[in-house]
A and B are shown apart, each in its own frame.
Chain A
Amino acid sequence: MQKGASSNATPDTEQGISFFNDRKIRAVAYQIAALFMVGLLGYYLFSNTVANLQRQAIATGFGFLNKQASFEIGESLIHYSAADTYVRALLVGVLNTLKVAFVGIVLTVVLGTFLGIARLSTNWLVAKLAAVYIEVMQDIPILLQLFFWYSFFYDILPAPREAIEPFAGVFMSNRGLVFAVPQWHPVYTYIAAAGLAGCIGAYVLRKWARKRQERTGQIFPVFIFSLGIIIGLPFVTWLSAGAPHKMSVPQLVGFNFQGGLNMSPEFGALLLGLVLYTAAFVAEIVRAGIQAISKGQTEAAMAIGLKRGQILNLVILPQALRVIIPPLTSQMLNLTKNSSLAVAIGFPDFVSVASTTINQTGQAIEGISLIMLVYLCFSLLTSLFMNWYNKKMALIER
């Protein structure tokens, strides 16, 4: 079918060939044919579906979204009860997916970087252990790992009554991990705002310092000052509010722990499985990124008298990151997509809630379209970020 797909750079030089051999005309004909066939296929599937739905009087449309969901969801970032609508239930699912993806990505990057560096360690034992870890984790399907961790999670940990307390205020049981968190106080909003202000301040400071350095050649200790602003501002806010320090400590009330923050075994197993699996891939990416920078770069930087921190900051990291970031983003996206396997171990992520919805309403087409749409949005956002980043990096390259 590709015959006419001309890659001739100068198609306009052709003259005096018969009508059917004209590349332009052939190309147009092929494209029309392709579009026609795709359209035909689409129409065929669509008309069949409509006929099938009508014949069996199956309900269609997104009307169900505003009906009462009537099922409970185990964990939710927003308030939800069985009396809420399907829309809200699905929103709970999306937020849960985002939650596991966000926490998972942060932990994966940390663990993956650590493993990647360990893989290159001069310590034979450490390097070999990291290599074995990476190989084993990459070669076992993620789903199997999730099953394994989930059964492991509740098989080894005791019931809430006999919960293990490794540190004060932290309880581990087969109901998950419960730990003490500071009790809510209005000042925390201000502290968060102060932290944000600190970040903006540090950013402005860095810009100013760089400009000043370009103008005068003087170096301003940006790092120390930025740290001071980012940590100091919220701290001062906290002190000025009278330093509230009441903790919400988990306590066993009735069946379960009340208070504190709870991480369920489902969430724990999903997070553990995703992080341990994806970190193996991230480790390889980090290793490749570090190895991509030749020794000459470091030596050259040393030769012009840069300090160790400067070498890392100004020479090695910018180059390594350019190699690391694109595949790293795709691993993050993979982690997000793999989080859909939560459905197999009972964590209420988006796919899990959507499949319950399909089940209760019987409207599979709508449900699966929603699943695809949500994940497409995730990957679209990621590729937008990638484009932005690549552009930025391309500028630096020159």
Chain B
Amino acid sequence: MKLMKLLLIITIVLLSGVGFAGQTVDNVKAKGFVQAGANGDLFGFGKPDEKGIWRGLDVDTGRAIAAAVFGDASKIKFIPLTAVQRFTALQSGEIDVLCRNATQTLGRDSELGLDFAQVNYYDGQGFLVPKKMKLKNAKQLDGATVCVLPGTTTELNVADYFRVNKMKMKPVVIENNAELAKAFFAGRCDVLTSDASQLAGIRAVAPKPDDYVILPDIISKEPLAPAVRHGDNQWKDIVNYSVLAMIEAEELGITSKNVDEMLKSANPAVQRFLGVAPGNGKALGLNEKWAYNIIKQVGNYGEVFERNVGKNTPLKLERGLNALWKNGGLMYSPPFR
């Protein structure tokens, strides 16, 4: 009876976010902000800085969504989530969108009741090893102790890889990127496996980065994408096109710096994109200026990439698969018309 009373009190008095079943976008607009799930421990993708301000590629993706919906990239709140919590947080409606380097898989798309939007980072799983091991490729890893994040697709991929190649492994699982890296540098394991982007980042922060090499083998495909609840098409479209708008802007040469000049552009594609020639906004149920706001406040994909994970950051990542299709990458946006 007391339990009952307490539960009722908790639910009634301390209720902090009351939404309504149905369209996420209406719900978000009523709330006045987007609630996003983020990583919290992944430098370059989602992590608070020393002032407590969120930084990262995933976080900026979330900000782009807020800019599209509200015209204000700051109208978003991030909740740090562990790997275990991330999908239930979305399923239960605690968050509106999950921007937490989640790999799109068939199982997650179907059984977990999720929908993945446009990929914001194409990754693949690789291996980081100390140079003094003198390894040429991953086939020589038989018997190795492997540092890996638990509960991820990486954990499954590496188990598959070793099984397929009839090799033995001993996993060391630590649920925190920083601790994992630390354990690896201290020599707790022979090899660290993770998404290649993270390997670069981890290598970059090593006491002596030159002592470590990333093996050439990429053993999996890891398309990292923001996720939304299954069955809400309008909201999925908004999230999807918020990511695509950043890609399209890069292709059109629109940056946060020149976006105001671009408003005067004679190019009909640019005019449609920036809402000078209306139509796109109405189609998505957003302000016509939505794409303009994304680019103005967050930047195009190239800018976001360089700012968070690019050459001038500790991660020093190449564009690689994440270059525009014109440059040999996979980033390709459908026409904005």
Surface stretch bound by A, among B86-94, B236-244, B277-285: B86-94
Whether A74 touches B173, Cβ cut-off 8 Å, given contacts A254-B142, A364-B88, is yes
Interface residue? B319 (CB, 8 A): no
Interfacial chain A residues near B156, Cβ < 8 Å: 70-71, 360
> Which residues of chain A in 341-367 are interfacial with respect to chain B, using CB atoms and an 8 Å cutoff?
343-346, 348, 352, 355-356, 358-362, 364
Contact of B188 among A154, A343, A355 (CB under 8 A): A154
A358 touches B84 (CB 8 A): yes
CB distance from A200 to the nearest CB of B (A): 40
> Which residues of chain B in 1-34 are interfacial with respect to chain A, using CB atoms and an 8 Å cutoff?
1-5, 7-8
B171 touches A73 (CB 8 A): yes
Interfacial chain A residues near B144, Cβ < 8 Å: 254-256
Interface residue? B160 (CB, 8 A): yes
A37 touches B175 (CB 8 A): no
A74 touches B172 (CB 8 A): yes
Interface residue? A38 (CB, 8 A): yes
Contact of A174 among B5, B110, B112, B187 (CB under 8 A): B187
Contact of B160 among A82, A346, A355 (CB under 8 A): A82
Q: Which of A37, A71, A360 has the largest count of B CB atoms less than 10 A from its CB?
A: A71
Interfacial chain B residues near A52, Cβ < 8 Å: 91-92
Interfacial chain A residues near B142, Cβ < 8 Å: 254
CB distance from B157 to the nearest CB of A (A): 9
The contact size tier of chain A is: 35 or more
Interface residue? A56 (CB, 8 A): yes
B151 touches A355 (CB 8 A): yes
The complex places the Cα of A94 from the Cα of B268 at a distance, in Å, of 64
Whether A343 touches B175, Cβ cut-off 8 Å, given contacts A38-B4, A58-B113, A70-B160, is yes
Interfacial chain A residues near B88, Cβ < 8 Å: 362, 364
Number of interface residues of B (CB under 8 A): 50
Interface residue? A119 (CB, 8 A): no
CB distance from B3 to the nearest CB of A (A): 7
The complex places the Cα of A103 from the Cα of B91 at a distance, in Å, of 40
B84 touches A255 (CB 8 A): no
> Which residues of chain A in 156-174 are interfacial with respect to chain B, using CB atoms and an 8 Å cutoff?
158-160, 174
The complex places the Cα of A34 from the Cα of B182 at a distance, in Å, of 53
Interface residue? B190 (CB, 8 A): yes
> Which residues of chain A in 132-189 are interfacial with respect to chain B, using CB atoms and an 8 Å cutoff?
151, 154-155, 158-160, 174-175
Interfacial chain A residues near B316, Cβ < 8 Å: none
CB distance from A39 to the nearest CB of B (A): 10
Contact of A1 among B1, B143, B169, B171 (CB under 8 A): B1
The complex places the Cα of A52 from the Cα of B108 at a distance, in Å, of 17
B143 touches A256 (CB 8 A): yes
CB distance from B113 to the nearest CB of A (A): 3
B7 touches A41 (CB 8 A): yes
The complex places the Cα of A248 from the Cα of B229 at a distance, in Å, of 55
Interface residue? B159 (CB, 8 A): yes
Contact of A359 among B83, B162, B190 (CB under 8 A): B83
Interface residue? A284 (CB, 8 A): no
Interfacial chain B residues near A72, Cβ < 8 Å: 155, 158-159, 162, 169-171
Interfacial chain A residues near B229, Cβ < 8 Å: 56
Residue of B nearest to A33 (CB): B1
Interfacial chain A residues near B271, Cβ < 8 Å: none
The complex places the Cα of A41 from the Cα of B182 at a distance, in Å, of 46
Interfacial chain A residues near B1, Cβ < 8 Å: 1, 33-34, 37-38
Whether A255 touches B190, Cβ cut-off 8 Å, given contacts A56-B91, A58-B111, A72-B159, is yes
CB distance from B263 to the nearest CB of A (A): 41
Residue of A nearest to B113 (CB): A56
The complex places the Cα of A382 from the Cα of B172 at a distance, in Å, of 32
Contact of B175 among A33, A255, A344 (CB under 8 A): A344
> Which residues of chain B in 102-134 are interfacial with respect to chain A, using CB atoms and an 8 Å cutoff?
107-108, 110-113
The complex places the Cα of A172 from the Cα of B87 at a distance, in Å, of 40
> Which residues of chain B in 144-198 are interfacial with respect to chain A, using CB atoms and an 8 Å cutoff?
144-145, 150-152, 155-156, 158-160, 162-163, 169-175, 179, 182-183, 186-188, 190
Interface residue? B230 (CB, 8 A): yes
Interface residue? A265 (CB, 8 A): yes
B111 touches A346 (CB 8 A): no
CB distance from B295 to the nearest CB of A (A): 33
B159 touches A82 (CB 8 A): yes
Whether A56 touches B172, Cβ cut-off 8 Å, given contacts A41-B7, A82-B160, A82-B163, is no
Interfacial chain A residues near B187, Cβ < 8 Å: 154, 158-160, 174-175
Interfacial chain B residues near A265, Cβ < 8 Å: 188
Interfacial chain A residues near B108, Cβ < 8 Å: 362
Q: Which of A253, A346, A348 has the largest count of B CB atoms less than 10 A from its CB?
A: A346
Interfacial chain B residues near A160, Cβ < 8 Å: 187
Residue of B nearest to A358 (CB): B84
The complex places the Cα of A28 from the Cα of B230 at a distance, in Å, of 48
Interfacial chain B residues near A158, Cβ < 8 Å: 187
> Which residues of chain A in 44-63 are interfacial with respect to chain B, using CB atoms and an 8 Å cutoff?
52, 55-59
Interfacial chain A residues near B107, Cβ < 8 Å: 362
A254 touches B143 (CB 8 A): yes
B4 touches A41 (CB 8 A): yes
The complex places the Cα of A55 from the Cα of B155 at a distance, in Å, of 30
Residue of A nearest to B85 (CB): A364
Q: Which of A154, A343, A364 has the largest count of B CB atoms less than 10 A from its CB?
A: A154
The complex places the Cα of A34 from the Cα of B3 at a distance, in Å, of 10
Contact of A151 among B2, B175, B182 (CB under 8 A): B182
The complex places the Cα of A321 from the Cα of B158 at a distance, in Å, of 51
> Which residues of chain B in 34-92 are interfacial with respect to chain A, using CB atoms and an 8 Å cutoff?
83-84, 87-88, 91-92
The complex places the Cα of A395 from the Cα of B91 at a distance, in Å, of 57
A362 touches B160 (CB 8 A): no
Chain A residues engaging chain B, CB cutoff 8 angstroms: 1, 33-34, 37-38, 40-41, 52, 55-59, 70-75, 81-83, 151, 154-155, 158-160, 174-175, 253-256, 264-266, 343-346, 348, 352, 355-356, 358-362, 364
Chain B residues engaging chain A, CB cutoff 8 angstroms: 1-5, 7-8, 83-84, 87-88, 91-92, 107-108, 110-113, 142-145, 150-152, 155-156, 158-160, 162-163, 169-175, 179, 182-183, 186-188, 190, 229-231
5 A–B contacts from the bound complex (CB under 8 Å): A38-B4, A57-B110, A59-B111, A71-B156, A356-B151
Nearest first, the 5 A-B pairs at minimum CB distance are: A359-B151, A56-B113, A82-B159, A159-B187, A34-B1
Other than the given A56-B229, A58-B112, 4 more pairs (CB < 8 A) read A72-B155, A72-B159, A74-B171, A155-B186
